[in-house]
Structure 1
Amino acid sequence: MEQQMHNKLKLPNVTLAAMTSVKLYETIRALTYSMQGIEFGEVVLITHRKPFSLPKGITYKHTSKLTDIDCFNYKMVYELGDYINTDYVLLVHYDGFVVHPEMWREEFLQYDYIGSPWPIPKPGTQHCYHDIYGNLCRVGNSVSLRSKRLLEFPRKADLIWEKDEDGFYNEDIFLCCMNKHRIEAAGMKIAPVEVAKYFGHEHPVPEVADVEKPFVFHKWWGRNEQYPRFENPWTKRWKAFKDVVRPLLFWRRIRR
């Protein structure tokens, strides 16, 4: 055990974090899986109620209940920084987490935001993947590494919370597209796709074809299908029970 700890990648200036009010079991599993091979400065679960059996090494931090996806997006932009005490945060979800700790690169820390590459929209289609000047933005994603400085920026700069062109609140679009010019003007950097492709994979875009093992993934699309899917055993049992009972109830209705 001591030898394993010694061989772990040490990231004392990075907090591993997840914020959610749903799929808590799956999210905790994603956190513990991400901790394999890495010793973070802190590991935090930000949620509205402390789970009964939180694994050792994960700290519970309270937030009001995330009632919907819009609430999640708002908190990610304006409140996440309140829970982070290190220079960076590595944000994961139940469907996106660290899968290849050996693929960590120190150059990731040269940027204030790095996530999986976004796809190139088809010509002539309306999309949100652009900055205010019309330049294509290729890097975003909520499963990401962000600097503490970037986390604090939206409130310090009084950024106005706005929907994107499609009429939705998306925190990564808000930061990496709609306010990219302000972030860069403040001296911060969003990673280019040439670096982001080594950090994470979500969409099977051409740039990631020559990168077999990303540090993190998000969503089980394309080659990401190989990565673990965690499922609450009680949810699984409940589904199995319903599958058994449903035909019996149907048969009872027919006999009436």
Structure 2
Amino acid sequence: MTLCAIDARTPALAAEALQRSMQQADFARVLLFTHGPFTAPAGIEVVDAGPIRSGAEYSHFVLRRLPAHVPAGHVLVTQWDGFVVDASAWSDDFLQWDYIGAVWDDQPAATCVGNGGFSLRSQRLLQAGLDARIVQEHPEDAMLARTYRTLLEGTHGVRFAPPAVARRFAFENEAPAGATFGFHGPKNLPAVLDAPTLRRWLAALPDDFFRGRDARRLARALLARRMPAVARQLLARRRAAGRNDFNTWMLDLAAQLSRPFGKEPT
């Protein structure tokens, strides 16, 4: 199995996430696709993929260019905000499916699998993604799992894992009911990283992260995990990024940060 991440924006964080997966499991190859000079830790092959400046360019790479770099076996596609957390939750049953990703909780059961940010993909799925009839590419996971699912299943024989299997494989928006192999999503980071690591990761993220919805979700998760110092850092970065949007959620956050929390977890 190949482990990979595609990241030209925060390659250092992507490399650290890859390392965390490597600490949990052995992979035949570990690839980091980025752009420009970057020295990765031992065991990670760096591939210059050229500029990847947007989500649409990321989707194009995953659908159209990644298959050439993974000519055999399965690939575990990850991002900076997702990695393997419990190798004991692995099951060889996962390998019988062509695509597994965390469940989307806002989709019907027939098309709720799955999120691409931490996803297992077979050769059949990779090659199917090259089909010229796939004319919409972004976001690539929604295109595969929803928009073109009938084409992939009917023409290419692609098998999407059922929701019960996907929930054992990874979590994203749903809280896990038990142990999972991995996860995806910034709001889940406080459950798997300590406060010093989170502070360091926040310092490494670009301003555009703090302007978006993921920053709001992460702020709430930090408070739920009783990490007010990290939440303050996030709020300061959001202000510095130009989002002085003191709407309801930020007023609530500011109020919660003013209350005593006791000792913050380390």
TM-score by length of 2: 0.69
Q: Deviations over 1:137-193 (max 9, x none)?
A: 1111111000122112122x3133227xxxxx2111100011111111121200000
Counterpart selection for 2:164 from 194, 203, 212: 194
Q: Give the aligned partner of residue 137 of structure 1.
A: 111
Between structures 1 and 2, the one with greater helix share: 2
Q: Give the aligned partner of residue 226 of structure 1.
A: 191
Aligned length: 202
Q: Give the aligned partner of residue 24 of structure 1.
A: 11
Could you say if the C-alpha distance between residues 32 and 179 of structure 1 is closer, same or farther in structure 2, counting changes exceeding 3 Å?
same
Distance across 1 between alignment mates of 2:37 and 2:133: 31
CA drift of 1:49 comes to 2.1
Identity, % of aligned pairs? 29
Counterpart selection for 1:83 from 66, 69, 75: 69
In the alignment, residue 50 of structure 2 is paired with which amino acid? S
Higher relative contact order structure (alpha carbons within 8 Å, sequence separation ≥ 6): 1
CA contact (8 A) 1:61 1:83 kept: no
Q: Deviations over 1:18-65 (max 9, x none)?
A: 0111111110000001001311110000111241x3111111112111
Where does the alignment leave 5 or more consecutive residues of structure 2 unmatched?
206-232, 237-266
Counterpart selection for 2:153 from 146, 163, 184: 184
CA contact (8 A) 2:134 2:148 kept: no
Q: Give the aligned partner of residue 20 of structure 2.
A: 33
Please state whether the residue corresponding to 1:65 is helix, strand or coil: coil
CA contact (8 A) 2:24 2:85 kept: no
Determine which structure has more spread, i.e. the larger CA radius of gyration. 1
Could you say if the C-alpha distance between residues 136 and 233 of structure 1 is closer, same or farther in structure 2, counting changes exceeding 3 Å?
closer
Between structures 1 and 2, the one with greater strand share: 1
In the alignment, residue 173 of structure 2 is paired with which amino acid? H
Q: Give the aligned partner of residue 135 of structure 2.
A: 161
TM-score by length of 1: 0.72
CA contact (8 A) 2:10 2:204 kept: no
Counterpart selection for 1:147 from 122, 135, 140: 122
Distance across 2 between alignment mates of 1:85 and 1:17: 13
In the alignment, residue 160 of structure 1 is paired with which amino acid? I
Where does the alignment leave 5 or more consecutive residues of structure 1 unmatched?
1-13, 122-128, 164-168, 244-256
Distance across 1 between alignment mates of 2:49 and 2:160: 28
Distance across 2 between alignment mates of 1:82 and 1:203: 31
